[in-house]
């Protein structure tokens, strides 16, 4: 396994990722009603930031290297 490079992150659109998360996160919150969230393989944390926007304060992101 190789760590992601800066080029990898430069080609990812944070806005597109957040757009997806903004559709899915409310659905998850309605179904599961979590008090905390852990994202394994979180990258730069875009999904976690959307959970925070929806009031989840206890968020953890785990990623490699």
Contacts 24+ apart (CB under 8 A), 13-21: 14/44, 14/46, 17/43, 17/46, 17/47, 18/46, 18/49, 18/50, 21/46, 21/47, 21/49, 21/50
How many Å is the maximal CA-CA distance in the chain?
Answer: 36
Question: In this structure, are residues 25 and 39 in contact, taking their beta carbons and an 8 Å threshold?
Answer: no
Tokens of 36: 């905390």
* Model pLDDT, residue 41: 92
Confidence (pLDDT) at 21: 93
What tens-digit pLDDT sequence spans the chain (65 residues)? 677 787 777 777 666 778 899 999 999 999 999 999 999 999 889 999 999 999 999 999 999 87
Residue 36: its pLDDT value, please?
A: 98
Report the pLDDT value the prediction gives residue 52, as an integer from 0 to 100: 97
Q: Six-digit token pair at 41?
A: 């393989």
């Amino acid at each position: 396994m190789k760590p992601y490079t800066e080029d990898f992150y430069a080609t990812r659109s944070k806005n597109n990722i957040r757009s997806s998360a903004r559709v899915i996160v409310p659905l998850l919150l309605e179904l599961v009603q979590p008090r905390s969230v852990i994202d394994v393989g979180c990258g730069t944390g875009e999904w976690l930031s959307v959970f925070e926007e929806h009031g989840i304060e206890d968020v953890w992101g785990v990623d490699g290297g």
